[in-house]
Amino acid sequence: MTNEEYSKRITNFMKEYCEIIHNGLEERWSKIPLELYDSEVYEVLGGLLARQTTLSTQLAENSNIWNPHIAPIILRSMIDAHITFAWILLDDFEKKAKQYILYGLGQEKKLVEHFKNEATDNPDLKDMIEFKEKWIEGQRYPFLTEVNLGSWSGTNTRQMARDIDCESLYKFSFEPFSAVAHNMWQHIEMFNLKKCTNPLHKYHRVPTISELPLSEDYVYRSSKYLNMSFVAFDKKFNLNIDTPMPKEWYMKNIEEIFSDE
């Protein structure tokens, strides 16, 4: 198979994958028993599912980021979103969803105060402050919006992962991907340093921007994390979904890409 043929096949495959996951999101949203008097809960759940679908879509559509520098950052965000999503669904999800919203509003209120301290006579900042204040006011009175300086959930991500029986996902995926997101030594040494070839320099490490191979396996991983969120949602609301599951569809159809090699 030529590079051109491979590129065409993989592009078409990713386009179909994106259509599948978008259809899956829409079908789920159409089938849940929406409670209009408690819409905040469903807005949180729907928003997080849409976030997962968006991240997997963006990864699938941009093959130039299928590398160890960028893809793990997106995957870490997807794992984080799944842990949050599944933890909210675990129990008392009405209360947890509202905590999630209030924390976000509080963080935005804090940001507004930071902007006010810097605004002086900057008209652009003043416009931004006004926009953000109206956004907050559209959901909750500012004087009732508290700023929480801790965790929105009252716990940490690792404990949340334990609570939803996903500690292995945290240990073997979230933490390694965090090294990429936080620019830690184990990532920097492997991918942004190389040994100097001058023996008089004692083979010290020097900066490098290396050309790294691209791998569609990162998209497969994103399909797994989206799959986990879909499964948690379907189980909570006892849904029967006709649209193929992301991971199963991916595994079934990716083989066709390499069938003529």
Q: Tens digits of per-residue pLDDT, 25-48?
A: 999 999 988 776 678 888 999 999
Say which residues have a Cβ less than 8 Å from residue 125's Cβ, sequence separation at least 6: 115, 118, 119
How far apart (Å, rounded) are the C-alpha atoms in residues 80 and 83? 5
- Please state the rounded mean pLDDT for residues 64-93: 96
Gap between the terminal Cα atoms of the chain: 6
Residue 206 β-bridge partners:
194
For position 37, what pLDDT does the model report?
A: 67
Say which residues have a Cβ less than 8 Å from residue 33's Cβ, sequence separation at least 6: 237
**pTM listed for this prediction:** 0.92
pLDDT over 90 (residue 204): no
Question: Hey, what are 209's tokens?
Answer: 């921007």
For position 3, what pLDDT does the model report?
A: 78
For position 201, what pLDDT does the model report?
A: 67
For position 14, what pLDDT does the model report?
A: 97
pLDDT over 80 (residue 80): yes
Give the number of other CB atoms < 10 A from CB of residue 233.
Answer: 24
Strands (E) across 63-130 are located at: none
For position 143, what pLDDT does the model report?
A: 72
pLDDT over 70 (residue 225): yes
For position 17, what pLDDT does the model report?
A: 98
- Please state the rounded mean pLDDT for residues 159-173: 97
Confidence tier at 125 by pLDDT (50, 70, 90): confident
- Please state the rounded mean pLDDT for residues 41-65: 96
For position 195, what pLDDT does the model report?
A: 83
Confidence tier at 200 by pLDDT (50, 70, 90): low
Which of 115, 97, 108 has its CA nearest to residue 134?
108
For position 7, what pLDDT does the model report?
A: 85
How far apart (Å, rounded) are the C-alpha atoms in residues 192 and 210? 7
> Of residues 142 and 69, which shows the higher confidence score?
69
Tell me the average pLDDT of the chain: 91
> Of residues 204 and 239, which shows the higher confidence score?
239
Residues of the chain with pLDDT > 90: what percent? 68
pLDDT over 60 (residue 235): yes
For position 166, what pLDDT does the model report?
A: 97
For position 261, what pLDDT does the model report?
A: 53
Question: Hey, what are 126's tokens?
Answer: 């003043």
| Greatest mean pLDDT among 10-19, 87-96, 205-214 | 10-19
Residue 207 β-bridge partners:
193
How far apart (Å, rounded) are the C-alpha atoms in residues 18 and 214? 19
For position 224, what pLDDT does the model report?
A: 98
- Please state the rounded mean pLDDT for residues 220-234: 98
